[in-house]
Amino acid sequence: GIVGNDSGTGLTVTAYGQPANGTVEVGEDGSLTYTPNDGFTGTETFEYTVTDLAGQTDTATVTIVVSPPDGPVATPDEGRTPFQTPLVVAAPGALGNDTGTGIGVIGHTDPAHGTLTLGVDGTWTYTPEPGFSGVDSVTYTIADEVGQEAQSTITITVDPPEAPTATDDSYEADYDTPLVIDATELLDNDTGTEIVVVTTTPPTHGTVVIGDDGTITYTPAPGFTGTDTFTYTIVDGAGQEATATVTVTVAAPATTTTEATTTTTEATTTSELAAVVTSTSTTAPVATTEAPAPAVGDTTIVRTGSSVVRWVLPSVAMLVAGAAFVALSRRRRTA
């Protein structure tokens, strides 16, 4: 005990004080029990008094050095989470692979691409910012019960979504008429997370414009008919892209048919025909013949002598065989 290095006959500890940073119990034989306060490290002292058999006393000082525990050790941690998904890690969390006496988390830095909450007991929650995929990290600090500190890192990997796919589309457009393609319709056969149309390539025979709402308007060149193409590119929430082709068939102009209406007015034509026929062998006149008028435009064959002459008579037809003739005609049209 504490009287082991003291001298005298029959020494006993008859009094002692209390240290500043703990408690002490001392037996008469000099045995000692010292209990430091929680977290205390350093040098502690108290005085005690011994008495010999003759009643003589003396006082001495006890010095106690309270050594700190081994310093804490913080070990790097890792986590992984799907795209746009918070990662929650329960206790002991970040402290699960750290060592030290009475350790707890006392602070951390902020991640570059999200938010992190880190509890004293090591629990932590990481929330990636919208659209982020990749690797993010923070530095955290732990301390033990006597205030010794250590630092390490938490590295979080945010997986990207599956890459988008864009599928070719076909549309028909009317002649000289813009074709408006709704974004939902265009993307209906494409896949991806939060995909939108970002760019297009110009067609050969027209123009393409992307509206603020993602609507695509294809306008054929004036007078163009046939097949035209353009490409469009989509991008997902993680910035991954895919491209597809749109084929537009522009119809020929419609054929306009105008029905013609013919009005026929029937007319009655009265012809009075007086014909004087002269024989080829005599100059004596023959009888006069009156005949009804043929239709307008009829062709009448008239024979004179041995020749046949084709006449188109507007109102009279006469055939006289083997004779010369003179025809006099007078027409009157009545509606």
Q: Are residues 25 and 46 in the same domain?
A: yes
Q: Are residues 187 and 233 in the same domain?
A: yes
% of the chain at pLDDT higher than 90: 70
Domain presence at residue 2: no
Q: Are residues 242 and 186 in the same domain?
A: yes
Cβ atoms of residues 193 and 238 within 8 Å: yes
Domain presence at residue 33: yes
Give 62's pLDDT tier (boundaries 50, 70, 90): very high
Domain presence at residue 182: yes
Q: Are residues 131 and 191 in the same domain?
A: no
Query: What pLDDT digit, counting tens, does each position of 194-230 carry?
Result: 999 999 999 999 999 999 889 999 999 999 999 999 9
Query: What pLDDT digit, counting tens, does each position of 243-278 carry?
Result: 999 999 999 998 865 554 544 444 444 343 333 333
Domain presence at residue 83: yes
Please give the single-letter amino acid code of residue 4. G
Q: In the chain, where does DSSP find H-type helix?
A: 183-187
Question: What is the secondary structure of 79-142 as a DSSP string?
Answer: EEE-TT--EEE-TTGGGTT-B-TT-EEEEEPPPSSEEEEE-TTS-EEEEEPTT--EEEEEEEEE
pLDDT value of residue 23: 97
Cβ atoms of residues 100 and 80 within 8 Å: no
pLDDT value of residue 254: 85
Query: What rounded mean pLDDT belongs to the chain?
Result: 83
* Local structure of 185: helix, strand or coil: helix
Give 1's pLDDT tier (boundaries 50, 70, 90): confident
Q: Which residues pair with 228 in a beta bridge?
A: 248
pLDDT value of residue 111: 98
Q: Which residues pair with 231 in a beta bridge?
A: 245
Domain presence at residue 255: no
pLDDT value of residue 63: 96
pTM above 0.75, yes or no: no
Q: Are residues 224 and 280 in the same domain?
A: no
Strand order in the sheet with 206-210: 179-181, 216-220, 206-210
For the chain, helix, strand, coil in percent to 5 are: 0, 45, 50
Q: Are residues 245 and 283 in the same domain?
A: no
Q: Are residues 239 and 291 in the same domain?
A: no
- CA 162 – CA 237 distance, rounded (Å): 11
* Local structure of 183: helix, strand or coil: helix
Domain presence at residue 22: yes
Tokens for 308?
């046949």
- Containing structural domain, residue 209: 169-250
Domain presence at residue 7: no
Query: What pLDDT digit, counting tens, does each position of 287-305 carry?
Result: 444 444 444 444 444 444 4
- CA 209 – CA 28 distance, rounded (Å): 100
Give 38's pLDDT tier (boundaries 50, 70, 90): confident
331: pLDDT strictly greater than 70: no
Domain presence at residue 25: yes
Q: How many domains does the chain have?
A: 4
Query: What pLDDT digit, counting tens, does each position of 85-108 carry?
Result: 999 999 999 999 999 999 999 999
CA angle 43, 47, 48 (to 5 degrees): 135
pLDDT value of residue 255: 80
